[in-house]
Amino acid sequence: MDNFSFSGDDLDANRVGKLSQGQRAILEEKRRSGLAQVGAGVGIFVAILIVAYLALQPNHYGQGICYPFLLLIAAFFGVLFVRLRHMNIGQDLRAGDVASARGALIVREELAISGGRRYVAEVGLARFALAEAVFVALSAFQEDTPRRECVIYYTPLSKTILSFEALEGAPPPHRPSFQEAVSRLYADEEQRNARK
């Protein structure tokens, strides 16, 4: 497990909505690793297609064994689609922007569909899938600063967490109740109708 850390320079750059040079280097390495994984996946897929083509050819019994291979191909496309969806690191690097989420930090471990564990964090309305190293760092942070509002800085598209900090003495943000939200909605609608 790699350690998750960031420097004061990283945090300063993130506060103004930019990536630091060190964070750029780390994200570039992640991007290259992801591209290598996709390349290997495409190679495996081509091999599966060749085997599937050969398997679909009639054998001496007169039938191809197509159904298992069609399922394998469909599953591979599903996995590749999910992997490519999370390959937004390159776009994050080109833009160089950093987003932030503010609110109470909730870090937890969940059971994944595959039966393994997955780690998630929620801050305000933002939800993040976490690597184990980031989970450990955020869990320690949460224990040190319970029930305090914090800011998490992350890349907008790939949602890679870059840094975080507690907000000293910050009151929890006001969250309107359902009734307040509905009242505001009706008031806005009435104003629009009055303008017409």
Higher pLDDT pick, 174 / 93: 93
Q: Are residues 53 and 106 in the same domain?
A: no
Q: Are residues 56 and 150 in the same domain?
A: no
Give the pLDDT of residue 153.
93
Task: Evaluate whether residue 184 is within a structural domain.
Answer: no
Confidence of residue 125 (pLDDT cuts 50, 70, 90): confident
Helix (H, G, I), strand (E, B) or coil at 162: strand
The answer to whether residues 72 and 91 touch, using CB atoms and an 8 Å cutoff, is: no
Residues 108 and 87 in one domain: no
DSSP-assigned letter for residue 141: H
Final residue of a structural domain among 93, 108, 129? 93
Q: What is the pTM of this model?
A: 0.63
**What's the rounded Cα separation, in Å, for the pair 187 and 166?**
35
pLDDT in tens, 79-111: 666 566 556 787 888 888 899 999 888 888 888
Most confident of the ranges 135-144, 161-170, 179-188: 135-144
Average of pLDDT values for 10-29? 90
CA angle 108/85/119 to nearest 5° reads 10
What's the pLDDT score for residue 124?
Answer: 85
In a domain, 141, yes or no: yes
The residue from 39, 63, 93 where one domain ends is 93
For residue 30, the enclosing domain spans 21-93
Q: Would residue 182 count as lying in a domain?
A: no
Q: What is the DSSP string of 63-126?
A: ----HHHHHHHHHHHHHHHHHHHT--HHHHHHH-B-EEEEEEEEEEEEE-TTSSEEEEEEETTE
Residues 136 and 162 in one domain: yes
Across the range 167-184, mean pLDDT stands at 60
178 lies in a domain? no
**Domain co-membership, 27 together with 64:** yes
pLDDT (tens digit, 9 = 90+) per residue, 128-154? 988 888 888 888 888 877 667 889 999
Question: Does 126 share its domain with 144?
Answer: yes
Is 101 found in the same domain as 14?
Answer: yes
